[in-house]
Structure 1
Amino acid sequence: MKKFTSAFMTPFRMIIFSYIVSMLIFSVLLWLPVSHNPGVELGYLDSLFTSVSAVSVTGLTVINVPETLSYTGVFFLALAMQVGGIGIMSLGTFVWMLLGRKINLSQRLLIMVDQNQYQFSGMVKLMRNILLLALAIEAVGAFILGTYYIQYFDSIGQAYYQGAFGALTAFTNAGFDVTGQSLIPFADDYYVQLIVVLLIFAGAIGFPVLMEVREYLSSNNKDFRFSLFTKVTVTTYFLVFIIGVIGILLLEANVYYQGMAWHQQVSSAIFHSASSRSAGLSTMDVSAYSLPTLLFVSSLMIIGASPSSVGGGLRTTTLAVMFLTIRSFALGKEEVKVFGRQVHPEDKQKAFIVLSFFLVGVFAAVLCISALEQNNTNVELIDIIFEVSSAFGTCGLTTGITDDLSRPSQLVLMLLMFVGRVGILAFLLSVKRKETKSYYKYPTERMIIG
């Protein structure tokens, strides 16, 4: 029995099982009466949806957080966001270290899978550094926002409470808020928006990138070289961000932004281009955007953040490798080269597998929810496309239909949020059958493609 369990529970399945257990635990904690405000009742399915959204750091919700959850409930919600954002194995490693336990090979393998790494060496040190760096960024963000919020709130305690939660939800790209209005109250406060955008960048750019930047700044080594991953990730992330800003500005110039001052237009476009990649925070009612903009923002949510970050989606490196491969094919080159390096053939294959699965998943989910909600007059097709993109990209932006959807449709969204958080490759590898050695080969024959 033990051998069967050991063979069945591969590292990928163990990671997925850990996330499922975490979601169930937090769903129960959020369901407890102590987690609710006096006189408020919360059904288990609503608490389950909230838990899945928090652990997957998405932000879609069927409840109003400050009206529904007590301070205890908000603490459980924040803890779920932290677990989902930093990663179960990062926090698990920290607990093991506090208990003085030695991290064995199987646990190092789980860490490697959870963080999309390719080597065992330095895993424990990496987890420790990631956790300390993440907590330090959140603490600095909480202090800056909390201190600034004193002018907005009645007490210092409330200001730092809002600041701490705001820093956590921005860095983890979770999208939840305890204002009840996201960041709409700060639509004209560019300082708050700047701090939040910087926290979103820090969380979504990827932990390996942060660690390399930290090493570069603290090292006196003049020969230090950034990895290909960091170069491609940073370039792609900010290129898509800039395209997002320009796209939103052009599409809304004569619609929602008409009559607004230029600096209001630019600040709104910058914030929502950054937030739509995975964060899910907003300084306006997103449903006020025009149809083309909603489709454009949906594409940004689908692209998502970087690998080994708090965000989900297709991921920046997937997009980069895909376009670089197409470019090389168009130029008649077999190898994919960038920044003086050659992309591994296996990475090209993974990129197209992820892209194909993602597109099929989005289409299937839109079709399924459309069929389930065809008699729901409060839901339109663009709302469903936007909601599905938000869930699969673990973003959290919504046109406001989440609570109007039927339970089966909400279950579809929960599945999308779950797969979006654990990662498509991890999900596919968890169901992959064990490879068997082939003792013979079939003749090769060409196929007509395209």
Structure 2
Amino acid sequence: MGSNTNDFINQWLLKYQLSVFKYERIASVINTFVAVVILIYNYGFYIAEEELKVLLSILDVIFFVYCISYLLRIIFSSHRFKFFKSTFVEGTFLLYIAFNGLFHYFFGVRLIEELFKSFWLDNPFIQYVNYLFFCLFILISIEITKSSSSISEYKIKPSTTFIFSFILLILLGTFALMLPACSIGIDESMSFLDALFTSVSASCVTGLAVVDTGQFFTFKGKLVILFLAQLGGIGIVSFATFFATFLSKGVSLKHKTIIQDVLSSEDLSSATGLLRKVIFLTLLIEALGSILIFFSWDSNLVFNNLFQKIFYSIFHSISAFCNAGFSLFPDSLNTYIVSDETTEFSTPGMVVDLRHMYGLHLVIGFIIIFGSFGFTTIEEIFSPQKIADRFRNPWKKYSIGTSISLYSTVILILVGMIAVFFLEIDELREDRTLFESLVASFFQSVTTRTAGFNSMDFGSMKPSTIIVMIFLMFIGAAPGSTGGGIKSSTFYVLLLSSIGIIRGQERIVVRKRTISDDNIKRSYSIFMFAAIYNLMAIFVLTITELDNPNIDILPLVFEQISAFGTAGLSMGITGELSSFGKVVIILSMYIGRVGTLTLALALSSTVQTNKFQYPEAHVMVG
């Protein structure tokens, strides 16, 4: 009898399953949209405490809908245990929220608020509201992650999905930066163009800025920039895939293809496994970098409080590893001002001198290098398993990709360091010792590999030094890294290929391995796209900035290559660019981040090839 009743109930549930799932999905989308609006309203605008109580009532309804939605999905699921197992994280979190809500409903006590009171926190009610909105943010992230998993249902190229994910991130960042609560002491919010420029610069980990980041943005605005840089550094799809591995059992093939392209992984099947290792290593390196930066600040630099010192350390660590180049100081690491000239420090008469914090320069420099290696290289060098293998077999060689990344990084850094040291020796030795001059040269060479920090004034550098910097910015970092440019491996393959053609070699061999024709063709395609685009962009900039007497051709070329290489360095003309000039730089930062070849593949149509070949023709070249 019981079995028949159970079968009857299951048949009845199965009868209405599709209808319930359909309306549940619609309700979830509407609920998530309302949740996003409430989240933006709470943190994007200045609101009174009375309004917060109204928002709490709305939050209760939103949480209730999320819980009912999950409950319906369990009840009407054909395999309830399997469904709960695959959504264990989401289910456990909603159960926790439901318990707190029911406890407050029946007993009139907010457990978490009482906990905050016991810790003697300032204004426990506000802290409790922040806690609720943090829970809401997690639920929104879960919903967005689930939605992103559905991209495999659409016939869209992985490259197209990748570039549109950046467009989405940029637009969200632009809207967030335009909110009143993100800007300090201004009657109106940030203009759309400046917000778009800043959002693109942060999302594409460039670092070019039209305003002083430290003094223009509030703490919330700085968090938005930090959030954009972190997501932009690894890729929003990468993060979505990473969290999807915790929320469900599988990841779609399209997700894996995108991750393979982002991380430059050789094996599609191991792409998601590599992604998990990469994100954990990224967070670990950023955490260790934050600690080292925390202890690298000079004792003469007095922060307002411990929290500010910690936040500054975390901000610059993430900005350095993601090669974002954003700094909270007016002139990056070349800052030399009195605290009275900035709103960031309350100690009167204090000299904020970062030019001579060489320990800080070295720490940030090495964090930048780790970020420019490429994720596969980081995983191969620093993962515990690979380190253990290296101890067991010290003579084991790194993979060819890792070796190229390491050697090219070291060689290009040394080339830049030597060039800066000898070309700028007069300026360096004015107020620096030999060791300090070498550190300054090293740091400036490192930062041209798409990092964006500066410890020297580029506006006063010799034209010969600027040309070397342009060369390094154009090459950029290693593939699969947070940096831009044509990539060091591309330059390496081009160099070997050109030498091989001159010598009459039929194939290019590295460590007894042949570089495939596809790799060589890809390298030439990337170089040609990059060269042609930059020439066109420079040509347009010379027209848009024609009426600006303060901007010469060399600063324009430097600005353009810096934007394309996502280096974020400038000769001081970013804020003086015209509106059209800013648009050109915005486009260059975006193309430089997503990659010229990725953009071309996304926009191109599939070519129908045939198994026949036309007779060869002789074309005079050279």
TM bracket (short chain): over 0.9
Q: Which residue of 2 aligns with 1:160?
A: 310
CA distance in 2: counterparts of 1:91 and 1:268, whole angstroms: 35
CA distance in 1: counterparts of 2:604 and 2:266, whole angstroms: 19
Could you tell me how far 1:160 is from its partner in structure 2?
A: 1.1
CA distance in 2: counterparts of 1:244 and 1:93, whole angstroms: 37
2:298·2:357 contact (CA, 8 Å) conserved in 1?
no
1:112 aligns with 2:273: no
Q: Tell me whether 90-99 or 386-395 shows the greater mean CA deviation.
A: 90-99
After superposition, residues 6-17 of structure 1 pair within 5 angstroms as: 6-7=154-155, 9-17=156-164
After superposition, residues 366-381 of structure 1 pair within 5 angstroms as: 366-381=538-553
1:334 aligns with 2:506: yes
1:205·1:237 contact (CA, 8 Å) conserved in 2?
yes
2:526·2:597 contact (CA, 8 Å) conserved in 1?
yes
Which of 117, 122, 125 is the equivalent residue of 2:270?
A: 122
Q: Tell me whether 54-63 or 33-42 shows the greater mean CA deviation.
A: 33-42
Letter in structure 2 aligned against 1:389: I
Could you tell me how far 1:278 is from its partner in structure 2?
A: 0.7
1:20 aligns with 2:188: no
Q: Which residue of 2 aligns with 1:248?
A: 420
Which of 469, 474, 479 is the equivalent residue of 1:302?
A: 474
SS of 1:175 mapped into structure 2: coil
Q: Which runs of 5+ in 2 are unaligned?
A: 1-149, 335-352
SS of 2:499 mapped into structure 1: helix
CA distance in 2: counterparts of 1:250 and 1:63, whole angstroms: 33
CA distance in 1: counterparts of 2:398 and 2:231, whole angstroms: 28
1:423/1:449 CA distance change after superposition, 3 Å: same
CA distance in 2: counterparts of 1:88 and 1:118, whole angstroms: 21
Could you tell me how far 1:44 is from its partner in structure 2?
A: 1.3
Could you tell me how far 1:257 is from its partner in structure 2?
A: 4.6
Could you tell me how far 1:95 is from its partner in structure 2?
A: 2.1
SS of 2:311 mapped into structure 1: helix
Higher relative contact order (CA 8 A, sep 6+): 1
Q: Which residue of 2 aligns with 1:209?
A: 377
Could you tell me how far 1:150 is from its partner in structure 2?
A: 7.4
CA distance in 2: counterparts of 1:443 and 1:150, whole angstroms: 70
Q: Tell me whether 139-148 or 275-284 shows the greater mean CA deviation.
A: 139-148
SS of 1:430 mapped into structure 2: helix
Alpha-carbon displacement from aligned partner over 1:286-335 (angstroms, at most 9, x marks no partner) = 11111111111111111110000010001100110011111212222111
CA distance in 2: counterparts of 1:211 and 1:259, whole angstroms: 40
SS of 2:414 mapped into structure 1: helix
After superposition, residues 120-199 of structure 1 pair within 5 angstroms as: 120-149=268-297, 151=299, 152-154=301-303, 155-184=305-334, 185-199=353-367
After superposition, residues 251-400 of structure 1 pair within 5 angstroms as: 251-254=423-426, 257=429, 260-400=432-572
SS of 1:103 mapped into structure 2: coil
Letter in structure 1 aligned against 2:613: K
1:57·1:310 contact (CA, 8 Å) conserved in 2?
yes
Alpha-carbon displacement from aligned partner over 1:145-177 (angstroms, at most 9, x marks no partner) = 123337322322221111111111111110101
Letter in structure 1 aligned against 2:448: S
CA distance in 2: counterparts of 1:275 and 1:404, whole angstroms: 23
Q: Which residue of 1 aligns with 2:621?
A: 449
Could you tell me how far 1:285 is from its partner in structure 2?
A: 1.9
Letter in structure 1 aligned against 2:173: F
CA distance in 2: counterparts of 1:236 and 1:114, whole angstroms: 20
CA distance in 1: counterparts of 2:582 and 2:242, whole angstroms: 34
Could you tell me how far 1:255 is from its partner in structure 2?
A: 5.3
Higher relative helix content: 2
2:265·2:376 contact (CA, 8 Å) conserved in 1?
no
Could you tell me how far 1:360 is from its partner in structure 2?
A: 1.1
Q: Tell me whether 111-120 or 161-170 shows the greater mean CA deviation.
A: 111-120
CA distance in 1: counterparts of 2:620 and 2:462, whole angstroms: 41
1:65 aligns with 2:213: yes
Letter in structure 2 aligned against 1:37: I
CA distance in 1: counterparts of 2:206 and 2:158, whole angstroms: 24
Alpha-carbon displacement from aligned partner over 1:355-388 (angstroms, at most 9, x marks no partner) = 1111111111111100111110111101101000
CA distance in 2: counterparts of 1:181 and 1:255, whole angstroms: 18
Could you tell me how far 1:118 is from its partner in structure 2?
A: 3.8
CA distance in 2: counterparts of 1:357 and 1:437, whole angstroms: 23
What's the C-alpha RMSD, in Å, of the aligned pairs? 1.9
CA distance in 2: counterparts of 1:224 and 1:260, whole angstroms: 42
Q: Which runs of 5+ in 1 are unaligned?
A: none
Q: Tell me whether 290-299 or 140-149 shows the greater mean CA deviation.
A: 140-149
Q: Which residue of 1 aligns with 2:107?
A: none
Q: Which residue of 1 aligns with 2:201?
A: 53
Q: Which residue of 1 aligns with 2:591?
A: 419
CA distance in 2: counterparts of 1:39 and 1:384, whole angstroms: 30
CA distance in 1: counterparts of 2:578 and 2:329, whole angstroms: 26
1:101/1:65 CA distance change after superposition, 3 Å: farther
Could you tell me how far 1:101 is from its partner in structure 2?
A: 4.9
2:507·2:514 contact (CA, 8 Å) conserved in 1?
yes
2:206·2:323 contact (CA, 8 Å) conserved in 1?
yes
Could you tell me how far 1:346 is from its partner in structure 2?
A: 0.8
Q: TM-score of the superposition, structure 1-length normalised?
A: 0.95
Number of residue equivalences? 447
Which of 386, 391, 405 is the equivalent residue of 2:577?
A: 405
Alpha-carbon displacement from aligned partner over 1:252-280 (angstroms, at most 9, x marks no partner) = 22456567432232121111000011101
1:278·1:304 contact (CA, 8 Å) conserved in 2?
yes
